[in-house]
């Protein structure tokens, strides 16, 4: 195994929307490397569809303060309000900046950026749905990813494509304070190890939805960033808050954008009843995702599910003008045609909730700096995170649709800016802090290549996905989570005995998948333990045994630390409040 | 709507035996590529990618291919499927049949099994200045663009850089200096964007020996584009823009 050494002022890990936006911000300010285990344009930002909200008021009255209220209420008051304010105020500049970068938004007849409705986004604090989402057909994420990549090409950003980052090394100060010294990556094309000595790094590695069986996430979304930091002592925040998007294609989980309902689509049960009228009388099908997913699951649980196994519901677009479908929803309707063999203009299609988005992740402040204690103040110098892998927390217990695209551009930029500023005054970590840091990765790779146990990566992953889907998804109980935890621990034991077939060094995805599974197992355990402890229902975390929100005891963020033997230890920090007091969440 | 629609009824899942024939090459052990067959079970509505995964996860973990999103938006799993370029994740077993041959896309160096070296492809993409160029200060507001102007380049904004088009082009197979359909598509996306000011520069680049004039309108690119982009038409529009000096 060859080892190569590099030295950069800053390293960005992940090249989706957050990583690329951060790269644009630091480009020209310091020597930066962007490391991605894919090619940048393969990142899952490109799968985002519906839009990016900003109170431009291009088509009707709107204000960033209404957007802020919706975000906080949508997040079931677990949102840190100052962070959400930064995001919702900053949304307007962020959209304009993307337009200047060349993003091809859909336009109004008079040439302005067009806007449409989206779940949970309302006029004047919940009066009615508002047209706030700026969009480009139903491929807004694709356009954001392409546009940001184009801007990186224009700026000559240095990419290390198909390098999987596996470890981070810190320099420890006299008082126990830590600062970033290096990241260690595995080059997929050669099997070589690369040590990047660096003053700072920003993690933007995306989500980890592949721990569930039905998921909208890419195969590669395995939480490598949060996973490796967790192993190095960084806590994970609010892991129990995992969003199930209401409309995934039945069995496959492929995302059908909320824009389908924003354009007028209706959810119906087996009896073709528009059941959302019973759950959210005012906004109906455009209620926030956690509520719609629960409504769907309730319909299924109470015997009103549709489809061959009565475990789905219908998404009905048949009443929409065909030209509106072609212009506004071309991709998602094509997905329905391709994967379900149904013409959505003529027939409804079967959908079910799909594991979609991690609200939780690496705790950061509003400058993207990773904060590791329960006061939210102790930092690891030079360590940053942004996007889905991070938890600022702007999404609280349930993210509103479109706010993830907004999150990545706003906090990718802020994280990049803060990192560039830090790098300008920080010294390069001395060579002795970097010497030998590749050893744990070298050992890990050697161990996996020579392992001869009887367990297979694919088997363990399937069992994990089935267990998490059955016991830790839309509805949970203490019992289901404890049972899930026992299984996850068994699977971790089994993982110690895996063997892989590919012993080579060139594009050994067999090895790569084995390492990804290790992260999924660790993160699943953190999720389940965090969820078992939270004895209330809030946002995406819905406990049948504790159906009410409990503001007296649970207006706080969970922090999961990994103990020396791999066990999960929990701590908590308060939610940062603001102008909005918790109130009952009705739509 | 008050009427109850006729809900499609489910039928028991039918399992098919699928024969995958994969062109394999491991640079660490093989002198030349060879074919290997895998027999896997799949549902008719499974993707070709699912069958590949079954082979990799249950039969032979050394089987190597790129993939990520698994629904046709990331562009990782372009390959030659029964002789034609496509994405393994957008093709269903029921559409391609139970006897499936899989080869790496052509015209780029094969590294291992279905994985090719994408660097030449991205270098060609970068050569056409694939980013908006406009030196006017737009101030702190959005630039306006009419829906008609926006529509002018809509088709070519859909490109996911999967390389299906470029590696289906007979001219590209014979001449890797040719910039290729995908790079032209990405140039087109800016040449015909009313906000861009560098059409002339891009047209100069594409007017060179390696540019659009290599295209012999074989239409392979348009036929295989998984995003349905009218690639040949885009190339023709660029040719016309060069010939008549206007966009």
Residues B48 and B160 in one domain: no
Own/partner long-range contacts of B136-142 (Cβ < 8 Å, ≥24 apart): B136/B197, B138/A100, B140/A93, B140/A96, B141/A96, B142/A56, B142/A95, B142/A96, B142/A99, B142/A100, B142/A112, B142/A113
Check B115 against A44: CB less than 8 A apart.
Answer: no
Distance (Å) from the C-alpha of residue B131 to the closest C-alpha of chain A? 5
Domains in chain A, number: 2
For residue A121, what pLDDT is reported?
A: 96
For residue A566, what pLDDT is reported?
A: 84
Residues B62 and B151 in one domain: no
Is B4 a domain residue? no
**At which residue do the structure tokens 């609280």 appear?**
A396
Check B74 against A501: CB less than 8 A apart.
Answer: no
pLDDT tens digits for range A214-244: 999 999 999 999 999 999 999 999 999 999 9
Residues of A in contact with B143 (CB under 8 A): 99-100
Could you tell me the CATH number of the domain that includes residue A532? 1.20.58.100
Is A395 a domain residue? no
Check B69 against A218: CB less than 8 A apart.
Answer: yes
CB distance from A482 to chain B under 8 Å? no
Average pLDDT in the A313-338 region?
96
Residue B1 confidence class, pLDDT cut points 50, 70, 90: very low
Q: Is A212 exposed, middle or buried (0-12, 13-18, 19+ CB in 10 A)?
A: buried
The partner residue sitting opposite B150, judged by closest CB among A93, A107, A270, is A107
Is B198 a domain residue? yes
Residues B106 and B129 in one domain: no
3-class secondary structure, A133? strand
Residues B131 and B230 in one domain: yes
Which listed residue (A289, A294, A476, A585) is catalytic?
Answer: A289
Distance (Å) from the C-alpha of residue B175 to the closest C-alpha of chain A? 25
Residues B130 and B217 in one domain: yes
> Which of the residues B77, B131, B155, B159 would you substitute to probe the A interface, choosing the one with the greatest number of A C-beta atoms within 10 Å?
B131
Residues B101 and B188 in one domain: no
For the cut 60, the answer to whether the pLDDT of residue B65 exceeds it is yes
Q: Answer yes or no: are the C-beta atoms of A530 and A238 closer than 8 Å.
A: yes
Residues of A in contact with B74 (CB under 8 A): 38, 41-44, 46-47, 218
Report the alpha-carbon distance of residue B244 to residue A283 in Å, rounded.
Answer: 53
Query: Which token pair is A224?
Result: 């490598």
Is A398 a domain residue? no
Check A39 against B111: CB less than 8 A apart.
Answer: no
For the cut 90, the answer to whether the pLDDT of residue B5 exceeds it is no
Average pLDDT in the B43-72 region?
97
Is B140 a domain residue? no
Report the alpha-carbon distance of residue B140 to residue B56 in Å, rounded.
Answer: 52
Residues B124 and B88 in one domain: no
**End residue of a domain, out of A320, A355, A390:** A355
Check B160 against A142: CB less than 8 A apart.
Answer: yes
Residues of B in contact with A500 (CB under 8 A): 61
Average pLDDT in the A63-69 region?
98
Check A335 against B62: CB less than 8 A apart.
Answer: no
The partner residue sitting opposite B68, judged by closest CB among A96, A220, A254, is A220
Distances in Å between the Cα of A224 and the Cα atoms of A186, A387, A441, A512 are 13, 14, 14, 11
Residues A448 and A345 in one domain: no
The partner residue sitting opposite A218, judged by closest CB among B64, B74, B160, is B74
Report the alpha-carbon distance of residue A416 to residue A92 in Å, rounded.
Answer: 19
Q: HSE on the CB side for A460, CA within 13 Å?
A: 28
A 539-558 near B (Cβ less than 8 A) = none
A 321-340 near B (Cβ less than 8 A) = 331, 335, 338-340
Report the alpha-carbon distance of residue A83 to residue A65 in Å, rounded.
Answer: 13
> Which of the residues A209, A218, A248 would you substitute to probe the B interface, choosing the one with the greatest number of B C-beta atoms within 10 Å?
A218
The partner residue sitting opposite A272, judged by closest CB among B5, B145, B147, is B5
Is A89 a domain residue? no
**End residue of a domain, out of A355, A385, A419:** A355
CB distance from A110 to chain B under 8 Å? yes
Range of the domain at B21: 16-116
Range of the domain at A477: 443-574
For residue B12, what pLDDT is reported?
A: 64
Residue B4 confidence class, pLDDT cut points 50, 70, 90: very low
Residues B29 and B87 in one domain: yes
For residue B133, what pLDDT is reported?
A: 98
Smallest CA–CA distance from B197 into chain A, residue:
A102
pLDDT tens digits for range A107-146: 999 999 999 999 999 999 999 999 999 999 999 999 999 9
For residue A177, what pLDDT is reported?
A: 87
**Residue partners of B114: CB distance under 8 A and separation at least 6:** B22, B23, B64, B65, B66, B79, B102, B103, B104
For the cut 60, the answer to whether the pLDDT of residue B3 exceeds it is no
Is B8 a domain residue? no
Q: Answer yes or no: are the C-beta atoms of A209 and A355 closer than 8 Å.
A: yes
Residue B7 confidence class, pLDDT cut points 50, 70, 90: very low
Check A509 against B70: CB less than 8 A apart.
Answer: no
CB distance from A194 to chain B under 8 Å? no
CB distance from A143 to chain B under 8 Å? yes
Check A339 against B92: CB less than 8 A apart.
Answer: yes
> Which of the residues B68, B144, B154, B201 would you substitute to probe the A interface, choosing the one with the greatest number of A C-beta atoms within 10 Å?
B68
Residues of A in contact with B76 (CB under 8 A): 38-39, 42
3-class secondary structure, B113? coil
pLDDT tens digits for range A520-567: 999 999 999 999 999 999 999 999 999 999 999 999 999 999 988 889
Mean pLDDT of chain B: 94
Smallest CA–CA distance from A219 into chain B, residue:
B68
Could you tell me the CATH number of the domain that includes residue B131? 1.10.1060.10
Residues A347 and A448 in one domain: no
Residues B104 and B150 in one domain: no
Distances in Å between the Cα of A320 and the Cα atoms of A264, A273, A313, A328 are 7, 17, 18, 11
**At which residue do the structure tokens 């003053």 appear?**
A199
Is A481 a domain residue? yes
Query: Which token pair is A553?
Result: 């005891």
Is A300 a domain residue? yes
Distance (Å) from the C-alpha of residue A246 to the closest C-alpha of chain B? 18
Distance (Å) from the C-alpha of residue A339 to the closest C-alpha of chain B? 7
Distance (Å) from the C-alpha of residue B229 to the closest C-alpha of chain A? 13
Residues B131 and B229 in one domain: yes
Is B9 a domain residue? no
CB distance from B197 to chain A under 8 Å? no
Q: Is residue A289 among the annotated active site residues? A: yes
Residues B126 and B221 in one domain: yes
Could you tell me the CATH number of the domain that includes residue A334? 3.90.700.10
ipTM: 0.96
Mean pLDDT of chain A: 97
Is A20 a domain residue? no
Smallest CA–CA distance from B25 into chain A, residue:
A506
List the alpha helices (DSSP H) in A357-402.
none
Check B157 against A506: CB less than 8 A apart.
Answer: no
Distance (Å) from the C-alpha of residue A103 to the closest C-alpha of chain B? 9
CB distance from B11 to chain A under 8 Å? yes
Could you tell me the CATH number of the domain that includes residue B63? 3.10.20.30
Domains in chain B, number: 2
3-class secondary structure, A396? coil
CB distance from B171 to chain A under 8 Å? no
Residues B90 and B126 in one domain: no
């Amino acid at each position: 195994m060859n080892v190569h050494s590099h030295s950069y002022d800053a390293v960005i890990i992940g090249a989706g929307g957050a990583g690329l936006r951060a790269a644009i911000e630091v480009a020209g300010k310091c020597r930066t490397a962007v490391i991605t285990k894919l090619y940048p344009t393969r990142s899952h930002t490109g799968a985002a569809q519906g839009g990016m909200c900003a109170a431009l008021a291009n088509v009707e009255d709107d204000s960033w303060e209404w957007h802020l209220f919706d975000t906080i209420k949508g997040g079931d008051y677990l949102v840190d309000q100052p962070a959400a304010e930064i995001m919702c105020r900053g949304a307007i500049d962020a959209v304009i900046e993307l337009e200047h970068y060349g993003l091809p938004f859909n336009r109004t007849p008079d040439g302005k950026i067009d806007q449409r409705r989206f779940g949970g986004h309302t006029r004047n604090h919940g009066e009615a749905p508002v047209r706030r989402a700026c969009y480009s057909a139903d491929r807004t994420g694709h356009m954001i990813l392409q546009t940001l990549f184009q801007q990186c090409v224009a700026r000559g950003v240095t990419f290390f494509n198909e390098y999987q980052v596996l470890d981070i090394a810190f320099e420890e100060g006299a008082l126990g304070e830590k600062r970033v010294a290096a990241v260690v990556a595995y080059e997929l094309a050669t099997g070589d190890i690369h040590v990047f000595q660096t003053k700072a790094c920003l993690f933007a590695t995306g989500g980890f939805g592949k721990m569930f069986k039905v998921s909208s996430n890419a195969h590669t979304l395995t939480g490598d960033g949060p996973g490796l930091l967790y192993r190095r002592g960084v806590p994970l925040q609010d892991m129990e808050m995992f969003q199930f998007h209401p409309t995934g294609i039945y069995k496959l989980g492929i995302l059908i954008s909320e824009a389908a309902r924003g354009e007028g689509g209706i959810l119906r049960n087996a009896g073709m009843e528009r059941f959302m009228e019973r759950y959210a009388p005012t906004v109906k099908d455009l209620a926030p995702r956690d509520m719609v997913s629960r409504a769907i699951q309730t319909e299924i649980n109470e015997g009103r599910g549709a489809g061959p196994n009565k475990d789905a519901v219908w998404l009905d677009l048949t009443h929409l003008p065909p030209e509106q479908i072609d212009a506004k929803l071309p991709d998602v309707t094509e997905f329905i045609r391709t994967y379900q063999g149904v013409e959505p203009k003529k027939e409804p299609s079967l959908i079910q909730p799909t594991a979609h988005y991690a609200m939780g992740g690496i705790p950061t402040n509003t400058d993207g700096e990773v904060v590791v204690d329960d006061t939210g103040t102790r930092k690891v110098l030079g360590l940053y995170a942004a996007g889905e892998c991070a938890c600022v927390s702007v999404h609280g217990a349930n993210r509103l649709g479109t706010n993830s695209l907004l999150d990545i551009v706003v906090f990718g930029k802020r994280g990049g800016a803060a990192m560039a500023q830090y790098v300008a005054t920080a010294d390069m970590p001395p060579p002795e802090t970097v010497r030998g840091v590749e050893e744990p990765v070298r050992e890990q790779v050697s161990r996996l290549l020579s392992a001869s146990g009887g367990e297979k990566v694919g088997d363990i992953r399937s069992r994990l996905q089935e267990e998490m889907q059955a016991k830790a998804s839309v509805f949970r109980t203490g019992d289901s989570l404890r049972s899930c935890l026992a299984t996850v621990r068994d699977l971790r034991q089994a993982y110690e005995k895996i063997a892989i077939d590919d012993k080579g060094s060139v594009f050994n995805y067999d090895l790569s998948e084995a390492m990804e599974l290790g992260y999924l197992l660790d993160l699943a355990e953190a999720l389940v333990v965090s969820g078992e402890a939270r004895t209330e229902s809030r946002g995406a975390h819905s406990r049948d045994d504790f159906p009410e929100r409990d503001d007296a005891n649970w207006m706080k963020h969970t922090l999961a630390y990994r103990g020396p033997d791999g066990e999960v230890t929990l701590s908590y920090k308060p939610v940062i409040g603001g102008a909005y007091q918790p109130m009952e969440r009705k739509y | 709507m008050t009427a109850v629609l006729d809900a499609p009824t489910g039928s028991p899942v039918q399992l098919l035996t699928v024969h995958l024939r994969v062109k394999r090459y491991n640079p660490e052990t093989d002198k030349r590529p060879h074919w290997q067959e895998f027999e896997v079970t799949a549902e008719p509505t499974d993707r070709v990618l699912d069958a590949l995964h079954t082979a990799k996860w249950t039969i032979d973990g050394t089987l190597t291919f790129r993939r990520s999103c698994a629904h046709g938006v990331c562009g990782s799993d372009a390959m030659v499927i029964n002789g034609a370029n496509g994405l393994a994740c957008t093709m269903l077993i029921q559409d391609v049949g139970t006897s499936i041959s899989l080869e790496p896309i052509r015209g780029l160096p094969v590294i291992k099994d279905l994985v090719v070296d994408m660097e030449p492809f991205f270098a060609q993409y970068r050569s056409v200045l694939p980013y908006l160029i406009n030196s006017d200060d737009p101030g702190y507001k959005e630039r306006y663009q009419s829906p008609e102007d926006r529509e002018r380049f809509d088709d070519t904004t859909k490109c996911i850089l999967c390389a299906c088009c470029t590696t289906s082009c007979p001219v590209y197979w014979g001449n890797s200096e040719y910039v290729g359909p995908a790079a032209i598509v990405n140039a087109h996306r800016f040449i015909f964007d009313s906000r861009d000011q560098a059409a002339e520069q891009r047209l100069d680049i594409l007017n060179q020996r390696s540019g659009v004039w290599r295209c012999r309108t074989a239409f392979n690119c348009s036929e295989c584009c998984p995003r349905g982009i009218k690639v040949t038409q885009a190339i023709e529009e660029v040719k016309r823009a060069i010939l008549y000096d206007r966009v």
